[in-house]
Amino acid sequence: MWPTKAKDDTVLLNLFEESGRNVERASSLLRDLFAEYPERPELAREVLDCEHEGDRLTHEILSRLAEYGACALDPADVHALAGAVDDIVDHAEEAADQLGLYGVEAPMEQAQRMTDVLVDTAGHVAVSLRELRTGDDLAVQLVAIHRLEDEADRIVRSGVASLFAAGIDPMMVIRWKAIYDTLESAVDACETVANVLEGITLRRAAQRTLTVLPGPSSPLS
């Protein structure tokens, strides 16, 4: 378990955990939208609702940081973490909007695979944010997020290559390339969360080491 300061702001950490659950919900809704599009266009509205909820939570986190300080976390870490978590939902909402905006008739296979990867990555983000509150070891979650980000890169490369190989309308190539970029940005934002959490983990480990190191020896009389 990580050491915590007496003024540890459990409300702030609870808000991060709630943000993680919102990321999970937005990602799952986006996956369902891509899997069933265009049969359930109302799912795009639900993703938008998650985006609004993400904005609310981010505002609460930053407002609390400004008013009370940052508990056991560095203020810069709080700001970076809140922004990265919010970016995940923002990109998910953008991808949902692009389906209708670009007049997509049916999602491509690689795009659906990307939403599956996003759901998996978002799940690890949510667990990481819960473990940030409980003080558990984040290592397993962070390794998984990095692995999934690599997988997402491979899927995007494959998807973009297939666009050119299929010889479809150049305008559709441009539109699908934009959708792939947005989905990739959502997964990249998950990795940014992991990077911030890794920094927090390293600093907490250093603080823990300092608390157990013996003090300087007294000079001999």
Instruction: Check residue 167 and give left, alpha or beta (phi > 0: left; psi -120 to 50: alpha).
Output: left
Average pLDDT over residues 130-158: 96
Output the CATH code of domain 10-203. 1.20.58.220
Confidence of residue 148 (pLDDT cuts 50, 70, 90): very high
Looking at this protein, which amino acid is placed at residue 119? V
Report pLDDT for 216: 58
**For 148, what's the count of Cα atoms within 13 Å in the CB-facing half-sphere?**
30
Confidence of residue 10 (pLDDT cuts 50, 70, 90): confident
Q: Residues 150-173: pLDDT tens digits?
A: 999 999 999 999 988 876 788 888
Specify the pTM.
0.90
Sign, CA dihedral 154-159-162-167, equals negative
Going by C-alpha positions, the residue among 191, 185, 200 that lies closest to residue 121 is: 191
Tokens describing residue 191: 């990795």
Q: Residues 31-48: pLDDT tens digits?
A: 999 999 999 999 999 999
Average pLDDT over residues 199-215: 75
**What are the extents of the domains in the chain?**
10-203
